[in-house]
Structure formats: C-alpha cells, structure tokens
Structure 1
Amino acid sequence: MSETIGHVIAELDSAFFADPYRHYRDWSRRGTVHRVRFPDGRTGWVVTGYAEARAALADPRLRKAGANARWAGVGSTASTHMLDSDPPDHTRLRKLVNQAFTARAVEALRPRVEEITAGLLDDLSGHAEVDLVAGFALPLPITVIGELLGVAPGEQVEFRRRTAGFGSGSAAPEQVRDLKAFLVELVRRKRDHPADDVLSRLVRARDEDDRLSERELVATAFLLLFAGYETTVNLIGNGVHALLRHPDQLDALRADPALVPAAVEEFLRYDGPVGFATLRYAGEPLEIGGVRVDAGEFVHVAIGAANRDPEKFADADRLDVGRNPAGHVAFGHGLHHCVGAPLARLEAQVAFTRLLERFPRLSLVDGPLAWHEGIRIRGLTSLPVRPNE
C-alpha cells in the first residue's frame, strides 16, 4: 500500500475479496476514511469507521441520483428507482413499495416461506454432498420474491435462469437486457390481467394515479427483485459458513433454537451480505472523519468494516450468537435503509431454524472456497456441505 495526503491507497484484489476484514484491520490503524483504488482503476473514498459510516449513510450532502452514471463517466443521468435517487423522488417511490414489506405483510408470508423451505430441504436430504448456495440459499428467496412480483408457478424455473448471476454482479449486458425484457412483458401481462401481487399494485399506481413513470415502473420491479433476494442469499450462505467454522456457536444454536433471531442479527454483523453500500458522491464539499471530501468525489461506505469496528462492538472479530448486535448497519441506515430487510430476516430465521433441525450433523466439505469479487456483494460462489455427516 502507498499513502497520499495522509490516507491509504489500497488496491482491491482477489486477496481483499477473500478476506476483507484483514485489510480493514490494517486500514483502521491509519484512520476511518481512506483513499482506495478499485479494480477498474478508479479511486474513491472508503469510510470504514462505524460512527463515520452511520453518519455518511444518513448525510443528505452525499447524493445518489446519477452516481452510477458519473462513476461510469457518462455524466449525471436521471435515476429511475429509489435506491439510486434522492428526495423527493426517493420519498415518492419508496412510499409505493413500503406496503409490500411492512412487518405485518411480511409475517403473512411465513407459512409460504416455511413450505418452500421444507420442500428445498427435502430435495437436499437424499444427497451425500450438496452446494448449499445453489440448492437452498438461492432458490428460497428467489421463489418468494418471484411469487410476490406475480411470476406464475410455471415460469419460476425460467425466472431463476434469467436472474442467475445478478446477485454476484456477474450478469452480462445481454442478460440484463433479457431480464428487463422479461419484466416489461410481465408488466404488460399484469396490466391486462391484474392480480393480488406487488407488481399489479405498482401497475395500478402507474396507470390510475400517475405516481410513477413507465420507466420507473420497470426499474422499481428490477429493484424489488434484488432487494427481495440478493441480501438473503448471502445472509444464509455466509451465516452457515460462519457457523460451521465455529463449532461452539453451532452447538449453542442447536441447543437453544430460540437464539436464532439474535443469531441472524449476529450473522448480519459478523459477515454480512453487503460489502460496500451503494455508491454516493459529494454534492458539496464536506468533511468525514476529519478528511475533506470535495464536491463530486465518490464515497463508498464499507458496511463490513463498520460492523467490525471495535469502538462499537466489543471483541468485534468474534462470532457470538448470544450477542446483542443492535445498531449494525448491514441493511444500511437512514432514508435508504433496505426496504427488503423484514423479508430477509423472516426468510433467514426460518431457513436457519429448519436447516439445523433437519440436518443436525451438517458439516463443511473440505476444500477452498471462492468469494464473489464485487465491491457491493459479500458472498460465496458455492458452499459444499454434507447434510448428514
């Protein structure tokens, strides 16, 4: 690593993605805000301290609208979904989708989540070795969000095929176009034959109340797809991996399944599904952690680093399913707190409860594991396990 104006320039490479926490510990010795060079050669500020991260996530001077276009060097274009928008557009769009992810609406999904989970575990039971990501962590949330959006049962297999790779950020441009075309066609069908699903309600909001544009409608469907499953896939995968590498914590959870809700929060903190929060840029000059950030400069909030900050969490590098990790920022903070968080929590709680109940001798298959090499997502490409060791 080299230094510039008193701050670290780190090169994000395969070693970083395999174990970012080792790098975060090194960076923390030099401060809480760092200059980082990304794999594509661009540089930006990365916030790693908990207090600074939480403040940055809620700071209205850090803008989101047009951030990705600026990063790509094509100027500031209008954003079309709430994740990459600022108020008042963000406020309007979020209000439209909040109702689908309220605690009450999500709890009503529990019987169906239990049913899907049971079926997936049945499929795993006849195998000596399985990939828990492909066979369980992925199909559970993608099935649930597909049903919420109104994807017909007969289209679920095709839906999974079209969404493969998006969670890791590895989707090719033609696959993005393919999925967009699928969603455009799904919107058309919901317009002709509305049903009791989230997408039909969004179509009504577009057609009857003119509360969003056609472009926003498709973009919001795209966002809901990933808000509804991306986090959960890696929450389950990373959490199982962490448990199997900490037998004492696995034993504690087996002995007392009532710990599962707290354990899910600890999995989110310890090795959560999000690496860096979505991109922001300074709308005006500001200071973060004693570092001046000029207008137009990019700011990345390292969620994983903030959740391992020892100033906030005692013995932060230790997995403890009995811990109370209140205040973690795995789902973000402020206006852009993840809208799918209640659904992710429900699915993870059901998944861990039923998985450990069904396969009490679950164990890792020996061998190296690979992590997705994207800055936003923290997750395994696969997780080979023996269900009945």
Structure 2
Amino acid sequence: MSHIVDGLLDTLHERPRSGEADFSALVSEELPVATIGGRLGPPSADWPRLRTLTHEQVFSQELLPNPSQLARSDAATAELRTYFMELVRERREHPGDDPISEWIRTWDELEPDRDKADEAVYFLALFVVLAALETTATVLSTMVLLLVEDPAAGACSPNTRTL
C-alpha cells in the first residue's frame, strides 16, 4: 500500500515541473480506487471505469437530481451490477485469498440458494466500493482544501498524538 501512496505523491511532486498539479485528480481520485481495487482484486485495468461508474451512480443521491443525472445513475448502477455479478461468478469458479471469495464462502454457509448468496455478495461489494471511493476522495480533497485555506490547522499541538 505504501508504494501506491509513494507513487501518487511522487507524481504530484513532479507534475508542477511540466504543468499543473491537481491534488484531487492525482491523489484524491486515485488513492481510493487503487486501495479498494487492490483489496477486492478486480483487474487494475478496470479501476478507472469503476471510479467513473461510482461517480455517476451517486447522482441519484443528490438533493435534487435532474432527469439526466438520474438516467446516468441508473445506467451506472446497471453496469456496476453486471460487473460485480460477473466478478462474483469468476471468484466462485476460482476462489482466491480476497474479501469477495471470503464473502462467497461465508454466504454459502448462511444461504443455500447460490443465486441469493451471489446477490448478497454483489450488494456487499457494491456498498464497499461506493462507500470507499466517494467518501475517501471527498474527505481527502476537503482536508487538503482546509489545510490550504488555514495552514495552521495542520500544525500539531502538544496534545496531538501521531500514529
């Protein structure tokens, strides 16, 4: 995991030499998808598409989504369902040492109907991806914005513990 963070921060450090360095695009958007993608195990070539789909899916959670946003959310949700159901089927056929394979084993013990078990694993994987990508990207960007606006807020006080 540290090699992913190091690589993203190196890119952020180098980018100003050739143009702009956008923390949101280079770190906030990339770190969550690399982290959850590395953990759940979908191919890294799929990570950008998963990130895009999660961004589109959450339009339905806006306060007043317009019809276009709702349509994009519906399409993204359908594509995410297809993607993760296929991933669940692949892991069922070729289990590994990853959370999805473990969830399949757990649900198989709880639910004798494989279709229902696979559906439960799909919903769990979808929830984890949506929560991890959107929440983490937003928190990272907001944190950096707040530190840029008030650098003193990032200073450690004597009462602050470091991890």
Shorter-normalised TM range = 0.7 to 0.9
Q: Is 2:121 the partner of 1:233? A: no
Q: Is 2:127 the partner of 1:127? A: no
The equivalent residue for 1:137 is 28
Q: How far, CA to CA, are the matches of 1:148 and 1:190 in structure 2?
A: 14
Q: How far, CA to CA, are the matches of 2:142 and 2:57 in structure 1?
A: 17
Q: How far, CA to CA, are the matches of 2:40 and 2:125 in structure 1?
A: 8
Shift of the 140–260 alpha-carbon distance from structure 1 to 2, 3 Å rule, reads farther
| 1:1-389 equivalences in 2 (<5 Å) | 112=1, 114-128=2-16, 129-166=20-57, 169=61, 171-210=72-111, 213-250=117-154, 252-253=155-156, 259=160
Q: How far, CA to CA, are the matches of 2:124 and 2:105 in structure 1?
A: 14
Structure 1 position 121, deviation (Å) = 1.2
Q: How far, CA to CA, are the matches of 2:43 and 2:88 in structure 1?
A: 13
Give me the identity figure in percent: 27
Q: Which amino acid aligns with 1:197?
A: D
**Residues 247-271 of structure 1 deviation map (CA, whole Å, 9 limit, x = unaligned):** 3224x24xx7x9475xxxxxxxxxx
Q: How far, CA to CA, are the matches of 1:120 and 1:166 in structure 2?
A: 25
**Residues 125-182 of structure 1 deviation map (CA, whole Å, 9 limit, x = unaligned):** 2222222122111210111111222212343333334333345656521111111111
8 Å CA contact 2:40, 2:98 repeated in 1: yes
Unaligned runs of 5+ in 1: 1-111, 262-348, 350-389
Unaligned runs of 5+ in 2: 62-68
The equivalent residue for 2:66 is none
Structure 1 position 213, deviation (Å) = 3.4
Structure number with the higher strand fraction is 1
Structure 1 position 236, deviation (Å) = 1.0
How big is the alpha-carbon RMSD for the aligned residues of Structure 1 and Structure 2?
2.6
TM-score, scaled to structure 2: 0.75
8 Å CA contact 2:5, 2:31 repeated in 1: yes
Structure 1 position 244, deviation (Å) = 0.9
TM-score, scaled to structure 1: 0.34
Determine helix, strand or coil for the equivalent of 1:130: coil
8 Å CA contact 2:85, 2:119 repeated in 1: no
